[in-house]
Amino acid sequence: MTKANSRRSFISKAALMAAMTPMASLSAFGQGYQQAVDRTPKASSPSNLKITDLKCGYIRGSLFVKIYTNQDIWGCGEGVDAIPGTYYLVKNFGERIKGKSPLNVHRLFEDIRKSGFFQGAQSGMYIAVLSAVESALWDLAGKALGLPVYQLLGGKFRDKVRVYCDTALYQRNLPRPEDFAEAARVSRNMGFNAIKFDLDQANDPNKYDWYNWTASPAELQRMYDQLAAAREAVGPTIDICADMHGRYDAVTAQTIAKRLEPLNLMWLEEPIPAENVEAYKLITESTSTPICAGENHYLAYGFRRMLEIGAVDIVMPDLQKCGGLGEGQRIANLAGLYYIPFAPHMVASFLGAMACAHVCASVPNFMIMEWQSYFHTQPMFKEIVTYDGDWVKDSFITVSDKPGIGVEINESSMKKYAIPGVPFFE
């Protein structure tokens, strides 16, 4: 059954039951999540909506899930990074939610999380898969109630979400300062007013060895020269940030952060591994360069200590990995108590990007969201989703007003990119 027919059938059933309620209650239809729920009669279609199945497909670093119901309404979600080998975990989660109402998003999230207390439900693969399922539940609930996800999350503070372009220069072999400058100009000319570069280069010939996390003087000079070239190329009004992927030690982090201060970076991202937030605090206190971290932390619990001690200037949870959209909003609100900006990491498809954008629209302390240059260079990303609007314009994503997330996956196109030997939506 098509989505249009599914919605028509769903609305017809809802309208029939609504006829038995006072006319005044009908005026609230579609005006807000709470109003929509309050005016829905107990015996209406939403009350009869039940989950019938959960299926998944894997493409490169992403897990895509689809939740099916007894009314031909479905929801799609995405998880990233910590998802290899999780097919049977997805199927296990599906058994836990089958037969239940998808409208109880928080309850289902807690049911899965708490039932996995001894199965790894604190972080890692368990939470990354749960993130995909949770996001799909929001998509499904939005479609069922005829509301965009941001409305389910309490409404929006903004219609558009600012993004920065990750230039992905790590894909080149030893990029030179002039490569940084050119990438910065290209991103600026595409309309982006914020750009990110990667400073860690495992094949840098000046590294002492593979295991020593202290950068050599030549490495430090290379990092500075690369970012200085980018700054000179685009001038002082374009934001520039730099990622070190947690591959250095605290001494290197303090040294490079101090050296980069004249370049006025938007932030220096994850110069050391995620685990030791006390070490992050020492780095943050040693420099005026803003320090950003969080893509490798899970759930709001993972951010509590970091925020309590002032370990970072900016938090960047990955919503396709940290617990999902509701958890992402909780992390943002927790950060807001400490006046810390929320700048989510995002390495997913456009489905994940738009899902993340709904959360960014729903919180006051949103700063900026990651956008990937591969959206513009790799045809796969256009093929695997369906969306009829602009993806990004002048460094902003317009948040979809369609029910749910507003982006659909294209299973037929997606299949040719699926990981061989892994069941695909079976």
pLDDT in tens, 116-130: 999 998 999 999 999
CA neighbor of 268 nearest in space, from 19, 187, 259, 379:
259
- Considering the domain boundaries, does residue 26 fall inside one? yes
pLDDT single digits (tens) 231-270: 999 999 999 999 999 999 999 999 999 999 999 999 999 9
For residue 297, the enclosing domain spans 160-410
pLDDT tens-digit series, residues 41-59: 433 467 699 999 999 999 9
Distances, alpha carbon 50 to alpha carbons 67, 74, 239, 311, in Å? 10, 11, 46, 43
Residues 131 and 217 in one domain: no
Q: 155 in a domain, yes or no?
A: no
**Per-residue DSSP letter, 327:** H
Among all chains, which residue has been given the structure tokens 């998944």?
56
Its sign, for the CA torsion 291, 292, 294, 300, is positive
Identify the band that residue 60 occupies on the pLDDT scale cut at 50, 70 and 90.
confident
Same domain (yes/no): 88, 167: no
Residue 425 maps to a domain: no
The CATH number covering residue 258 comes to 3.20.20.120
- The total domain count for the chain is 2
Task: Estimate the crossing angle of helix 250-259 against helix 217-234, to 10 degrees.
Answer: 40
Domain boundary at 87, 120, 147, which?
A: 147
When pLDDT is averaged across residues 176-196 and rounded to a whole number, the result is 97
In a domain, 103, yes or no: yes
- In terms of domains, do 200 and 141 share one? no
| 184 and 325 together in one domain | yes
- Shared domain for 127 and 219, answered yes or no, is no
Same-domain status, 10 and 39:
yes
C-beta of residue 395 within 8 angstroms of C-beta of residue 164: yes
In a domain, 422, yes or no: no
pLDDT tens-digit profile of 302-353?
999 999 999 999 999 999 999 999 999 999 999 999 999 999 999 999 999 9
332 in a domain, yes or no? Answer: yes
CATH number for the domain that contains residue 28: 3.30.390.10
Residues 6+ apart with CB under 8 A from 167: 183, 184, 186, 187, 195, 196, 197, 373
Does a structural domain hold residue 43? yes
Q: Backbone dihedral region of 44: left (phi > 0), alpha (psi from -120 to 50 degrees) or beta?
A: beta
* The pLDDT of residue 366 is above 90: yes
- Same domain (yes/no): 184, 316: yes
Q: Are residues 279 and 313 in the same domain?
A: yes
* Length of the chain counted residue by residue: 426
Cβ 319 vs Cβ 343: under 8 Å: no
Domain boundary among 87, 114, 147: 147
Q: Residues 311, 241: one domain?
A: yes
Residue 6 has pLDDT above 60, yes or no: no
Contact 354, 405 (CB under 8 A): yes
83 band by pLDDT with thresholds 50, 70 and 90? very high
pLDDT attached to residue 16: 44
Same domain membership, residue 242 and residue 135 = no
Could you say which of 93, 120, 147 is where a domain stops? Answer: 147
Can you give the pTM of this predicted structure? 0.88
pLDDT greater than 70 at residue 357: yes
Query: Percentage of the chain surpassing pLDDT 90?
Result: 84
CB 273 within 8 A of CB 281: no
**What would the two tokens of residue 139 be?**
């998509």
Residue 416 in any domain: the answer is no
Task: Note whether 272 and 386 are same-domain residues.
Answer: yes
126 and 190 inside one domain: no
CA distance readout (Å), 401 to 36, 146, 364: 16, 10, 19
Q: What is the pLDDT of residues 95-152, one digit of tens each?
A: 999 999 999 999 999 999 999 999 998 999 999 999 999 999 999 999 999 999 999 9
Q: In DSSP terms, which residues pair with 241 in a beta bridge?
A: 196, 267
